[in-house]
Amino acid sequence: METCRAGGPGGQHRNVTDSAVRLLHVPSGVQVTASESRSQHRNRAVAWERLIARLEQLNRVPAKRVPTRRSKGAVERRLAEKKRHQAAKRLRTTARNEE
């Protein structure tokens, strides 16, 4: 844990007090900072929350994707519907060509 001066607007109080907190998780190398408040204690609490959230995010194992495929019946129904649609379109084009 390291404290430092918070940058940005805030005037004299911010320029004088070491209220920003920087936490470093050595095993993973994750670093978080908090400098929103003028209180070092509040910034430390916020920084710990951020560090815990970041480590949880890094350690989360994504769910294994289960490859799915359409059932044989669904494929046959889809192809049958496409053939019906194709036949209807073919009837429309032949009617125009005969005129």
Domain assignment present for residue 29? The answer is yes
Phi-psi region of 16 (alpha: psi -120 to 50; beta: other; left: phi over 0): alpha
Q: Which of 1-5, 21-25, 39-43, 67-71 has the lowest mean pLDDT?
A: 1-5
Domain assignment present for residue 75? The answer is no
5 pLDDT band (50/70/90 cuts)?
confident
pLDDT tens track for 42-63: 999 999 999 999 999 999 999 9
Domain assignment present for residue 69? The answer is no
CATH number of residue 41's parent domain: 3.30.160.20
Query: Identity (one letter) of the amino acid at 38?
Result: R
Domain assignment present for residue 74? The answer is no
Q: Percent of the chain at pLDDT above 90?
A: 61
Domain assignment present for residue 70? The answer is no
Q: How many domains does the chain have?
A: 1
- The parent domain of residue 51 ranges over 2-59
| CA 6 – CA 28 distance, rounded (Å) | 25
DSSP state of 36: S
98 pLDDT band (50/70/90 cuts)?
low
DSSP 40-80: HHHHHHHHHHHHHHHHHHHHPPPPPP------HHHHHHHHH
